[in-house]
Amino acid sequence: MASEAQQTPATPVPVPVPSVWTRPRRRKEQPALSREQIVAAAVRLLDAEGLEALSMRKLGAGMGTAATSLYRHVANKDELIELVVDEVFGELELPEAIGPQGWRAALSHCGHSLRDMVLRHPWMASVLGQVGLAHLGPNLMSMSERMLGLAQTAGFPPGEADLAIKAVVSYVIGATTSEASYLSLLARSGKSEPEWLESLRPAAQEALEDHPLTKERAASRQGLDPARLREETFDYGLQRVLDGLATRITA
């Protein structure tokens, strides 16, 4: 009996990544409502109540309209998240490219501006890295272009300017994501940062008893402004990243 002919596996059909930046924008929009208004309202809701509170229904109710009206401008909640992320990236202060003498101060300013933006919108900590094709957004694209220009005029070896920018942004996002999560927890406590830390003192002291080095470090920071300490900690890491990048230029 003849064996059956071997069948060739079917070639999988490519599935496009859904994104607001790849979907053609509808030409006919409801005159009383615009995508820009929806995004601005979503940012306000996120800042006030956090990511968990965001839904198309709640957003529409806050704008005095039905959720169905919002779907004429954004296909779903994922697209809305892409839009609000790009919107807040428009707040960044990005210096112009100023040559090899000023690259470090300029990139340091970019890093601090990025941190400040994330801390103004702590919900960003929950969505960065999970927003599809966010890099195609106009504000994120503008940030990449401006920072790449700074790195190229700094004098990095060919092909390294883009890597240098990624190193800076990766550090900033990593540091601010954990800091923003901490500030969100602080906000839910209903206390100021010094008050909250003071309420944790008994538990902290007990936990530190068997860890002398950490206990000594904590004691050295007692009474200092916690917000300033967070700022100094962030800047220390950023400056060490820039130290490393500087060696690539001098080499």
Long-range contacts of 31-39 (CB under 8 A, 24+ apart): 33/63, 33/65, 33/69, 33/70, 33/72, 33/73, 34/73, 35/73, 35/74, 35/83, 37/63, 38/63, 38/70, 38/73, 38/74, 38/80, 38/83, 39/80, 39/83, 39/84, 39/87
At residue 30, the pLDDT reads 47
At residue 90, the pLDDT reads 92
More confident site: 36 or 1: 36
d(CA 37, CA 173): 27
Q: Is the pLDDT of residue 5 over 60?
A: no
At residue 195, the pLDDT reads 87
* Fold entry, domain 103-190+221-250: Tetracycline Repressor; domain 2 (1.10.357)
CATH 1.10.10.60 residue ranges in the chain?
A: 35-88
pLDDT digits (tens, 9 = 90+) for 44-55: 999 998 888 999
At residue 237, the pLDDT reads 97
Q: Is the pLDDT of residue 110 over 90?
A: yes
pLDDT digits (tens, 9 = 90+) for 67-80: 888 988 988 888 89
CA torsion 48-49-54-58 (nearest 10°) is: -80
Reading the block at residue 179, the tokens are 């800091």
pLDDT digits (tens, 9 = 90+) for 148-206: 888 888 988 888 999 999 999 999 999 998 898 888 888 888 888 888 888 888 898 88
With contact defined as beta carbons under 8 Å apart, do 61 and 45 qualify? no
- pTM of the model as a whole: 0.80
d(CA 93, CA 96): 10
Average pLDDT over residues 74-93: 90
Instruction: Supply the mean pLDDT for the chain.
Output: 85
Hey, CA dihedral for 123, 53, 127, 197, is it positive or negative?
A: positive
CATH 1.10.357.10 residue ranges in the chain?
A: 103-190+221-250
Report the CATH superfamily, name and number, of domain 35-88: Homeodomain-like (1.10.10.60)
d(CA 225, CA 227): 6
d(CA 246, CA 104): 8
Q: Using 50, 70 and 90 to split pLDDT, how confident is the model at 216? A: confident
With contact defined as beta carbons under 8 Å apart, do 24 and 45 qualify? no
Percent of the chain scoring above 70 in pLDDT:
85
d(CA 240, CA 225): 23
pLDDT digits (tens, 9 = 90+) for 18-45: 676 676 766 555 457 888 999 999 999 9
d(CA 149, CA 102): 12
At residue 250, the pLDDT reads 67
